[in-house]
Amino acid sequence: MLTGKHLIGGEWIGGDATFASSPALGPARDFATGTAAHVDAACQAAEAAFPAYAALPRAARAAFLNRIADEIEARGAAITEIGTQETGLPAARLDGERGRTTGQLRLFASHILKDDWLDRRHDAALPDRLPAPRPDLKMLQRPIGPVAVFGASNFPLAFSVAGGDTASALAAGCPVVVKGHSAHPGTGEIVAQAILAAMEASGVPVGAFSLVQGGTRDVGEALVRHPFITAVGFTGSLAGGRALFNLCAARPEPIPFFGELGSVNPMFLLPAALGARGKAIAKGWAASLTLGAGQFCTNPGVAVLIDGPDADMFAKATETALSAVPAQTMLTDGIAAAYRSGRERLASNRAVETRFKAECGGRQALPALLETTGGEWLSDARLGEEVFGPLGLIVRVRDAGEMLELAQGLHGQLTCTLHLEAADMELALRLIPILERKAGRLLANGFPTGVEVVDAQVHGGPYPASTNFGATSVGTLSIRRWLRPVAYQNMPDVLLPQDWA
């Protein structure tokens, strides 16, 4: 079923160079290596397709999105088979992620048939107004042009070729050029096959979607620098995302870069909740911390609590729960190596105590539990750096005042969580105004892994959690990233976009 090629302008295109996949199990496969020439061809096709694709009626774009979902579901068994081989993720996880992917497509199909996302506004003319008449003004949101999307390593479906960035951009009327992730190129190609089948069946211009596989960092740089690309969606590391963000800003015509870059997602265990439910919270934290080998951007890596006997009990209960978790396969050799390196960097810090740490090699990962004090955290910024994997850090603060100080010093986060009881409300009311400025999503008595794809969701936050605090990469609000408002003054109705009607 695999061609090992790029999908560009409706054609499968190879090249002189190839790279071999590095699956967790099963055979390695060869894929064409992307080049700047492939990027240029894909961007040229996207630009050529933009006028016709953007002009499609919303019902036609909705039907296209639903057809993509149908085609992905028809290839479900093949996607799961190669996805488990490439990533090491269990079949149940991939089946669930495929459902989320098709669900996102169908959600946006439904969303664009409504009117609220267009934000239509009309100020009627006032020809008799003094001292000067007012013109007729109509405004609505319009698609911005071709969009570049970078596939994520940790979500081979929901944040990849046909993931949320692609679904929302296509819904907005923007062609998409995807830079596929080299960790799961076979999975990406089968999804691209589904999109091609949907384009052909729906009569959509084939330049509306292209996939460029593999390639060095130069290929990604060529994509964000291409003059036909008008915005970028990215999920990945802080270093890689910041480099691309800087390139977008340095272009002759700067463009927005919507990057999700990293977060430790701190939890604050308030005193009454810690005393009443400390063991249950510890068990839940361990489960969330190790879900998917900790390879979630919302992994709750830090627990902040006031020192004392209840903190001792919580730490012991977490240690017990984590010690029962078996080794898990990580997504790539590089991610596994980075996890071990980050864990050792943190554990070797003189201010950190290791409560639990087990050795493992290759692509396997075992959890770790470390501990420090609020004073050390506040004096050493390195303690707040993300370690991508199943590692938890307990931070014991002296009192509520130091907890508030720690919250005030946080960098931007995707999520912050409060575990609280009725007796904790006074402290919670002091924390909330601080945490609102630190994160895009605030939780009470839960765990942040598991991001609902709904209208009210926000998956983003102040830098470095993301590069644009006013945007989200999950939920229907994410479509706004690929739109811009246009006002039409005294414009005859026949010349207005059909979405005005």
215-224, pLDDT tens digit by residue? 789 999 999 9
Average pLDDT over residues 190-200: 98
pLDDT band at 340 (very low <50, low <70, confident <90, very high): very high
Question: What pTM was computed for the model?
Answer: 0.95
CA Rg value for the chain: 24
Q: What is the pLDDT of residue 361?
A: 85
Q: What is the pLDDT of residue 112?
A: 98
Report yes or no: 104 and 161 within 8 Å, Cβ to Cβ: no
How far is the C-alpha of 138 from the C-alpha of 136, rounded, in Å? Answer: 7
Residue among 367, 365, 292, 363 at smallest CA distance from 332: 363
60-80, pLDDT tens digit by residue? 999 999 999 999 999 999 999
Neighbours of 28 (CB within 10 A): 12
**Please, what's the b/e burial string for 362-397 (b: 16 or more CB within 10 A of its CB; e: otherwise)?**
ebbbbbbbbbbbbbbbbeeeebbbbbbbbbbbbbbb
| 27, amino acid identity | P
In percent, the amount of the chain with pLDDT more than 90 equals 95
260 catalytic residue (yes or no): yes
Residue 418 to residues 98, 109, 303, Cα–Cα distance (Å): 31, 35, 10
Write down the residue that tokens 């895009």 correspond to: 440
How far is the C-alpha of 303 from the C-alpha of 264, rounded, in Å? Answer: 10
How far is the C-alpha of 342 from the C-alpha of 430, rounded, in Å? Answer: 33
414-466, pLDDT tens digit by residue? 999 999 999 999 999 999 999 999 999 999 999 999 999 999 999 999 999 99
DSSP state of 178: E
Q: Looking at the predicted structure, is the pLDDT value of residue 469 above 90?
A: no
118-150, pLDDT tens digit by residue? 999 999 999 999 999 999 999 999 999 999 999
Mean pLDDT of the chain: 96
**List of long-range contacts for 343-350, beta carbons under 8 Å, 24+ apart:** 343/368, 343/387, 343/389, 343/391, 345/382, 345/387, 346/370, 346/382, 346/383, 346/385, 346/387, 346/391, 346/393, 349/380, 349/382, 349/383
Q: Which helix (H) or strand (E) holds 416?
A: strand 413-419
How far is the C-alpha of 334 from the C-alpha of 153, rounded, in Å? Answer: 11
Residue 263 to residues 157, 198, 235, 389, Cα–Cα distance (Å): 21, 36, 12, 12
Phi–psi pair at 257, nearest 5 degrees:
-120, 110
Of the residues 47, 86, 189, 260, only one is catalytic, namely: 260
Of the residues 43, 174, 297, 416, only one is catalytic, namely: 297
